[in-house]
């Protein structure tokens, strides 16, 4: 425990990090525990890269790490209770291990700030969403000064993607194209924690994709709070479609995915880019949130169900095999049975391959938390159960249509919880569906690619129990077998400058920017 608690909140536009500060290389182990969304997962890869560059080593599974970092979420229900409960369990471990440090970052740290150290005074470092690059220096300073360091920047100074990253997967990687969000959805606290949207330059994005492919990565997912508003900073509303096409020109990149688009910004050129670029997967995750126009207005979702379903129709006309998934909130304040029936109707019409369904709960700091007509828990639960039952029926029906089809599976780790007892392996088809398959006499490695025929459909996965038709060994499989994870240097020198960006490289079907 610290001899004193010195809390330092950094005001907007100023950093306490002196340029001549240097880290002392020590062999200390680290562990990162990630809560929340894909953005948090990708930020954790950056944190791992930073710590390893500073001389830390990843802790073994059964080892008590010298440094435990929590990358937190403020969106999920009871996020703060989960964090403080976990910190409480760590307190006696820290007391018994001299020199152990605990750091808390991410969205909850940005929101709660010095409250974290007040409630858990054994925490050494608190850092925000805008300054993950400060973590190694803050840890060193906390050790040297023997007091907690709290540094929260109010605005982004450096793109996270300009930082090194130790990737979790040898075959699949996240590539952030933007950070922050310009939308004002009443249920969401993300804009206030991650700030306004900042777009990376297309050249920086493509350079990072190329660096991953050079390491053997076969699949990338372009990541942003609202990917299809990409280009807003440099004035090109068609930038995202161009970026998809440009990714298609990178040799060795076999699969491109993206998450998440917003229906209000969805343009026909993105559908064309998906359909015409072979490496772009025919998979679309597009949040609906509600099938009631009245609720969409209350949520400040600037589209209506007619537009949403129109996008779905256009996607399916261009790509009949597309798997479309969504997010839905049940029980938003003021939702009536009629509103909920509207959601069920849209689910029936859209025929989602799967859906992430959420029961609305208050999030302090959001406008929706102050709305009247908050629904009783029992009402929300009953509607939620009906929605889940309908979507499960829909998912199973669509999966049954896959039986007998040949699917290409990128072999993965951790996707099949029962693989050991079923003697199967698992991975994702190009449309994102989970496939459990029988590997044959010689098992492929994670990162290899097999083609196999679907023999059975369950509500949430497919099974392919015959001998694989083909098995292709890959560089990703070689590196996965050798235990080598990609490590990428930072790409880009900070925030984008204003004005027109450098043009995207010329590729077939891609208009000059």
From the annotation, which residues make up the binding site for [4Fe-4S] cluster?
37, 73, 107, 181, 185, 188
Q: What are phi and psi of 472, to 5 degrees?
A: -115, 120
HSE-CB of 104 using CA atoms within 13 angstroms: 32
8 A C-beta contact, residue 112 and residue 87: no
8 A C-beta contact, residue 225 and residue 39: yes
> How many other C-beta atoms can be found within 10 angstroms of the C-beta atom of residue 12?
8
Query: The tokens 């599976």 sit on which residue?
Result: 409
As given in the structure block, the two tokens for residue 11 are 């005001």
Known binding residues are 37, 73, 107, 181, 185, 188
The number of residues in the chain equals 513
Alpha-carbon dihedral sign for residues 466, 470, 475, 478: positive
**Helix, strand, coil % (nearest 5) of the chain?**
35, 20, 45
In Å, what is the CA distance from 189 to each residue of 34, 154, 369, 507?
18, 15, 11, 38
Residue 128: closest CA among 188, 184, 71, 87 = 71
Give residues with Cβ within 8 angstroms of 68, minimum separation 6: 30, 31, 33, 90, 100, 101, 102, 103
Query: The tokens 């929300």 sit on which residue?
Result: 380
8 A C-beta contact, residue 167 and residue 173: yes
As given in the structure block, the two tokens for residue 96 are 């018994």
> How many other C-beta atoms can be found within 10 angstroms of the C-beta atom of residue 274?
22
């Amino acid at each position: 425990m610290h001899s004193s608690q010195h809390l330092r909140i950094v005001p907007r536009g100023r950093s306490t990090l002196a340029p001549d500060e240097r880290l002392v290389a020590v062999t200390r182990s680290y562990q990162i525990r990630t809560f929340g969304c894909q953005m948090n997962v990708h930020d954790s890869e950056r944190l791992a890269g930073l710590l390893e560059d500073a001389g830390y080593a990843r802790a073994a599974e059964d080892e008590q790490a010298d440094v435990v970092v929590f990358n937190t979420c403020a969106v999920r229900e009871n996020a703060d209770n989960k964090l403080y409960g976990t910190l409480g369990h760590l307190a006696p471990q820290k007391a018994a291990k001299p020199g152990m440090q605990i750091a808390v970052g991410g969205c909850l740290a940005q929101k709660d700030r010095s409250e974290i150290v007040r409630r858990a005074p054994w925490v050494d470092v608190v850092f925000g969403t805008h300054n993950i690059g400060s973590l190694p220096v803050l840890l060193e300073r906390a050790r040297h000064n023997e007091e907690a360091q709290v540094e929260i920047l109010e605005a982004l100074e450096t793109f996270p993607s300009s930082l090194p990253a130790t990737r979790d997967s040898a075959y699949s990687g996240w590539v952030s194209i933007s950070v922050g969000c310009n939308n004002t959805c009443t249920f969401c606290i993300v804009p206030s924690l991650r700030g306004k949207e900042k777009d990376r330059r297309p050249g920086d994005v493509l350079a990072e994709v190329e660096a991953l492919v050079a390491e053997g990565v076969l699949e990338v997912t372009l990541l942003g709070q609202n990917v299809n508003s990409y280009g807003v900073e440099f004035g090109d509303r068609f930038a995202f479609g161009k970026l998809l096409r440009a990714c298609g020109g990178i040799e060795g990149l076999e699969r491109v995915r993206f998450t998440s688009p917003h229906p209000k910004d969805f343009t026909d050129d993105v559908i064309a880019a998906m359909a015409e670029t072979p490496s772009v997967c025919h998979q679309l995750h597009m949040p609906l949130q509600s099938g009631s126009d009245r609720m969409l207005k209350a949520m400040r979702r600037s589209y209506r169900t007619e537009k949403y379903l129109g996008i779905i129709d256009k996607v399916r006309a261009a790509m009949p095999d597309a798997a479309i998934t969504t997010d839905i909130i049940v029980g938003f304040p003021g939702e009536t049975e009629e509103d909920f029936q509207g959601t069920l109707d849209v689910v029936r019409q859209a025929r989602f391959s799967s859906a992430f369904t959420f029961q609305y709960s208050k999030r302090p700091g959001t406008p929706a938390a102050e709305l009247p007509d908050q629904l009783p828990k029992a009402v929300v639960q009953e509607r939620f159960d009906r929605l889940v039952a309908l979507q499960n029926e829909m998912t199973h029906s669509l999966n049954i249509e896959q039986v007998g089809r040949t699917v290409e599976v990128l072999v993965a780790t951790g996707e099949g919880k029962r693989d050991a007892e079923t003697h199967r392996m698992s991975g994702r088809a190009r449309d994102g569906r989970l496939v459990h398959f029988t590997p044959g006499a010689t098992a492929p490695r994670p990162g290899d690619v097999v083609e196999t025929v679907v023999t059975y459909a369950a509500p949430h996965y497919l099974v392919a129990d015959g001998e694989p038709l083909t098995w292709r060994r890959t560089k990703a499989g070689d590196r996965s077998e050798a235990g080598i994870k990609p490590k990428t240097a930072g790409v880009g020198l900070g925030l984008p400058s204003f004005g027109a960006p450098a043009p995207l490289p010329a590729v077939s079907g891609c208009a000059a920017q």
